[in-house]
Structure 1
Amino acid sequence: MAQGSPVGTIDDIFVKIQENQKGVIDEALREQRGSVGRLLSLDHAMKAWEDLLTNEPEGTLIINGRREFGRAIYLACGGHYGAAFAGLRLYLELSFAAIFFSANELKRRKWLADSYDFSWSAALNEADGVLSSDFVGAFNQSAVVDAQSYKAKAAAVYRDCSQFIHGKESSTSTIPSQLVYSQNTLEQWCKLASDAIECVQVLFFSRYGQELLPSDSGSVENTMLETIAHLPSVRKILETPRTENGQ
């Protein structure tokens, strides 16, 4: 600490930030409780996928992705909007990387050894990306048609979040320069977060739905009720009777 600096200044600064953030959270929940509550509910429901896949090689990425989604909700409610958009993009990257590496063991091992970089553009490649007809068809043929529109949705969410990370003026200028509540920014973030988790649900269903569903408990199917139950391929699974062990 520089000579002459008043004792306690650092503590005072962080206490003040904490107090400001509490006020932002209070206002955010007062104004956007429904939207935030829905995202928390969807995040909690996604634990069913996490539990189902935790022992798979890609399980750690799935767990880390969900953790980042929850952290991003907190950051968004606390007024840390730039970090919240960054966290949402990281959630997408980790989730899509998990599915990409689930079918590319060599690349996964090289990535773990820090000799391979995951590419978002490769993951969304039209020919063989994780939502392409070729990829989805290999794992869940019934989901091929339904998965197609989600390539564009995932790309749009990723791009919007990237605008904030890269300091694009048209995006960063909408974020308050101080730690205050912004209704428009939080609404925008909640919309992107809802789209992001819907894309991830489709992604997981496209990769694992044919193999792992219907589940014994039906908990995984319940994660899709609020968001993607309208898709014909998902409806087919939801209407399939569970095994006797799951009754």
Structure 2
Amino acid sequence: MNVKEYFVGLNNNIAEIIETSFESKNGNDLSDMFQFVDELSIWESILNKTTDTTLLISAIKEFELGFQAVLSGQYRYAFIAQRYFIEQITRFIYLSTNELHLRHWKLGIRDVSWGSLIDNENGVFSKVFIRAFFQGIEDEGGNFISLSSKMYRESSEFVHGNFDKINILPEKIAFQGDMLERWLEYMETGKLIAMFLLFMRFSKDLDASDLAKLEAMASDELCGIDGFECLFQ
């Protein structure tokens, strides 16, 4: 086998899958979802003035890699990136509150497990955590723990190669509409979680000019949650 010819052929196949993905019934949803990169980048440009955004940048990159994978028909890797995205965005929020833990994490002497991130008592969705940064929406935490846990669990099954997940993946790199739709569904949940966390953690500390850049995001993602509307009144 000529290795170069094999990968040139594979690249041509992937180009066809990308085209098919955008021509599918989910084509508009894909275009809309990719705007999430711009939204997260706006957050990063605002927060990097006062906050270490290393983990936020990592989350953005992981979302882009997952998007590339799902467009290319590499669905297992798209779900792996999806899990990593939700871990990184949640870890970013958690470590943004503790400079010592952040420095230890950077030095490789502290690990921050998923369990600690979503812990009922002290995690980022706990009442005590939410109350410290955005009083009045504490009761939403339980719902977001459930959403995050489900997304993490479902994505992890692709990471671990569970039989029922392997069994629904195409044997070769190929377009599979139901897998594209599932990834988009999961990512919509991930987007909601990310926006909740970012607004909950940082919005009360932002000035009016920065908040104005974020108003449309809050309207799109968080309009059903009582409390956030006060930010723009």
Q: TM-score, normalised by structure 1?
A: 0.89
Q: Which letter maps to 1:62?
A: L
Offset, 1:57? 4.1
Offset, 1:107? 1.5
Does 2:97 align with 1:97? no
Counterpart-to-counterpart distance in 2, 1:217 and 1:130: 22
Offset, 1:94? 1.0
Does 2:149 align with 1:149? no
Does 2:139 align with 1:109? no
Partner residue, 1:22: 15
| Equivalent pairs, count | 232
Does 2:4 align with 1:11? yes
Larger CA deviation: 224-233 vs 174-183:
224-233
Larger CA deviation: 182-191 vs 59-68:
59-68
Alignment of structure 1 residues 119-134 onto 2, 5 Å: 119-134=113-128
Counterpart-to-counterpart distance in 2, 1:155 and 1:58: 26
Larger CA deviation: 36-45 vs 86-95:
36-45
Does 2:153 align with 1:159? yes
Does 2:41 align with 1:47? yes
- Mapped contact 1:214–1:221 kept (Cα < 8 A): no
Partner residue, 1:206: 200
- Mapped contact 2:46–2:210 kept (Cα < 8 A): no
Q: Which letter maps to 1:46?
A: L
Counterpart-to-counterpart distance in 1, 2:194 and 2:165: 24
**SS of residue matched to 1:224:** helix
Counterpart-to-counterpart distance in 1, 2:216 and 2:85: 21
Partner residue, 1:64: 58
Offset, 1:225? 2.2
Partner residue, 1:168: 162
Does 2:78 align with 1:84? yes
Counterpart-to-counterpart distance in 2, 1:159 and 1:55: 34
RMSD: 1.5
**SS of residue matched to 1:226:** helix
1:179 to 162, 165, 173: 173
Counterpart-to-counterpart distance in 1, 2:10 and 2:229: 47
Counterpart-to-counterpart distance in 2, 1:42 and 1:229: 17
Counterpart-to-counterpart distance in 2, 1:223 and 1:46: 10
Counterpart-to-counterpart distance in 1, 2:94 and 2:183: 26
Offset, 1:217? 5.9
- Mapped contact 2:203–2:211 kept (Cα < 8 A): no
**SS of residue matched to 1:179:** coil
**SS of residue matched to 2:136:** helix
**SS of residue matched to 2:168:** coil
**SS of residue matched to 1:127:** coil
- Mapped contact 1:86–1:165 kept (Cα < 8 A): yes
Q: TM-score, normalised by structure 2?
A: 0.94
Counterpart-to-counterpart distance in 1, 2:60 and 2:100: 24
Offset, 1:213? 5.8
* Runs of 4+ more than 3 Å apart: 55-58, 213-217
Offset, 1:192? 0.4
Alignment of structure 1 residues 227-242 onto 2, 5 Å: 227-238=221-232, 240=233
Counterpart-to-counterpart distance in 1, 2:58 and 2:90: 12
The percentage of aligned residue pairs carrying the same residue is 22
Counterpart-to-counterpart distance in 2, 1:134 and 1:120: 18
Counterpart-to-counterpart distance in 2, 1:187 and 1:216: 34
- Mapped contact 1:147–1:202 kept (Cα < 8 A): no
Larger CA deviation: 57-66 vs 162-171:
57-66
Q: For each residue in 1:5-46, what CA deviation from the matched residue of structure 2 results, as whole angstroms up to 9, or x when unmatched?
A: x6xx11101101101101111111101211101211233222
